[in-house]
Amino acid sequence: MAINKLTVSKKSAHEINPDMIGLFFEDINFAADGGLYAEMLENRSFEAVKTKGTGRNYILKEDNLYAWSSVEGKEDALEINSNQPVSEKNPHYLRFTAFEDGEGFANKAYDGVCLKKDAKYKVSFYAKEVEYSTGDIEIKVTKDGTCYADATVKFEAITPEPDGYKQMVGDCEAKEWKKYETEIVANDNVKGAAFEIHLTKAGSVEFDIVSMIPADAVAGVFRKDLFKALADLNPGFLRFPGGCIVEGTSIMRRYRWKDTVGAIEDRKINTNLWAAVGGNTSHAWEMPDSHYMQSYGIGFYEYFLLCELLSSKRTCKAVPVLNIGVACQFRSYETVAIDDPAFDEYVQDAIDLIEFANGPVDSKWGALRAKMGHPESFKLEMIAIGNEQWESRHVNVADRYRIFEKAIHEKYPEIKCLGTAGPFVNHELHSGAWKVYHDECAVNPNYSYAVDEHYYVAPQWLYDNVAFYDNYPRDVYVFAGEYAAHDANLSNSVEAGVAEAAMMTGMERNGDVVKLASYAPLFNRIGHSHWTPDMIWFDEDSVTLTPSYYTQKLFSDYAGTEALELNDQEKVLRNSQIYVSAVKMGDSRVIKLVNGKDEDQNLLLVDEEGNDIVGEAQVVTMKAASGKAIVPEASDAIAEDNNHAVSTEIMSNAELCAKRAPEAASYTEEKVKLAGEIVLPAKSVIAVVIK
pLDDT tens digits for range 384-438 = 999 999 999 999 999 999 999 999 999 999 999 999 999 999 899 999 999 999 9
pLDDT in tens, 109-151: 999 999 999 999 999 999 999 999 999 999 999 999 999 999 9
Q: Is 466 helix (H, G, I), strand (E, B) or coil?
A: coil
Q: At what angle do helices 494-509 and 547-557 cross, to 10 degrees?
A: 30
Position 643 scores a pLDDT of 63
Residue length, the chain?
A: 691
Residues near 437 by beta carbon (within 8 Å), at least 6 away in sequence: 419, 421, 447, 448, 451, 476
**Pairwise CA distance, residues 175 & 167, whole Å:** 13
Confidence at residue 168, expressed as pLDDT on a 0 to 100 scale: 59
Helix (H/G/I), strand (E/B), else coil: 244: helix
Q: Which of 39, 302, 355, 388 is catalytic?
A: 388
Contact between residue 138 and residue 152 where contact means Cβ atoms under 8 Å apart? yes
Where does the pLDDT of residue 172 fall: very low under 50, low under 70, confident under 90, or very high at 90 and above?
low
Q: What is the pLDDT of residue 479?
A: 98
Banded pLDDT at 164 (limits 50, 70, 90): low
Report residue 650's pLDDT band, with 50, 70 and 90 as the boundaries.
confident
Cβ partners under 8 Å of residue 57, min gap 6: none
- Torsions phi, psi for 476 (to 5 deg): -130, 135
Q: State the pLDDT at residue 169.
A: 57
At residue 215 the predicted structure's pLDDT band, cuts being 50, 70 and 90, is: very high
CA distance 242 to 256: 12
Predicted TM-score (pTM) above 0.85: yes
Q: Are 622 and 550 in contact (CB under 8 A)?
A: yes
User: Residues 41-50: pLDDT tens digits?
Assistant: 999 999 999 9
The residue among 691 and 434 whose pLDDT is bigger is 434
d(CA 294, CA 44): 11
First to last CA, the chain: 28
Tell me: pLDDT of 639 over 80.
no
**Mean pLDDT taken over the chain:** 95
Check: CB of residue 246 under 8 Å from CB of residue 322.
Answer: yes
Is residue 388 among the annotated active site residues?
yes
Distance between CA atoms of residues 123 and 137, nearest Å: 12
* Residues linked to residue 181 through DSSP beta bridges, in sequence order: 124
Task: Return d(Cα 374, Cα 657) in angstroms, integer.
Answer: 40
- Percent of the chain beyond pLDDT 70? 97
Query: DSSP letter at 430?
Result: H
DSSP 251: S
pLDDT score recorded for residue 56: 86
Q: What is the 3-state composition of the chain as percent helix, strand, coil, each rounded to the nearest 5?
A: 20, 35, 45
Displacement of CA 561 from its chain's centroid (Å):
27
Q: Rounded to whole angstroms, how far apart are CA atoms 479 and 507?
A: 10
Average pLDDT over residues 581-594: 98
